[in-house]
Amino acid sequence: MRLILLGPPGAGKGTQAARLVEKFDIPQLSTGDMLRAAVKAGSPVGLKAKAVMDAGGLVSDEIVVGIISDRIEEADAKKGFILDGFPRTVAQAEALDALLAKKHMELDAIVELKVDEDALLARIENRARETLAAGGTVRADDNPEAFKVRLDAYRVQTAPVSAYYASKGTLKTVDGMLPIDGVTKALDKILA
């Protein structure tokens, strides 16, 4: 099972990805985690990424695609993978398509979790209140102001990726406002 989960921050991608990892016994591939691992391993592409990051720059699409290319060849990804946080832009989606074609691989599904942004904001505010009430610390990116910034960035950069896959006829959508188990059931139906 090779899968991309799309949707704005707070839509539940992480929750659903964890369930899919368990169900299909495939890894969830986070670009951030992969970058850190490639740097730590000292792979050629990891060394390129390290040089860019050490200089304070953003890692190029070429480097990120190189890291994904290496990662999907690892043993645990032979049965498939879930891409998390990638592609973030249409250019990355196009590069991923080219990479997969070169490797004679296809995606089994591209699924977007559709959500109501106002309801998402309410979720984030509620989660922050519950965390504080339980004596916990609210994550820096889990406060309403930071969330609005992340949501704006998503709308500008990543939302067009959904349109890209929709134009190819490969995008499936799930109502991300359903209860967690309802989203899981809808995903199961798409992936059956």
- Tens of pLDDT, residue by residue over 77-95, are 999 999 987 898 999 999 9
Catalytic status, residue 2: no
Range of the domain at 167: 2-26+79-191
Lookup result for tokens 């889990």? 142
* CATH number of 122's domain: 3.40.50.300
191/165 Cα distance (integer angstroms): 17
Catalytic status, residue 139: yes
Residue 37 lies in a domain: no
Residue 31 lies in a domain: no
How many domains, the chain? Answer: 1
160/166 Cα distance (integer angstroms): 10
Catalytic status, residue 150: yes
Catalytic status, residue 123: no
Residue 38 lies in a domain: no
Angle between helices 159-167 and 90-102 in degrees, nearest 10: 50
Which pTM does this prediction carry? 0.83
Q: Which of 19, 36, 114, 150 is catalytic?
A: 150
Residue 47 lies in a domain: no
121/116 Cα distance (integer angstroms): 9
Segment 119-157, tens digit of pLDDT: 888 878 888 888 889 998 877 666 778 888 888 888 898
Q: Which of 88, 114, 123, 172 is catalytic?
A: 88
Q: Which of 36, 114, 127, 172 is catalytic?
A: 127
Residue 120 lies in a domain: yes
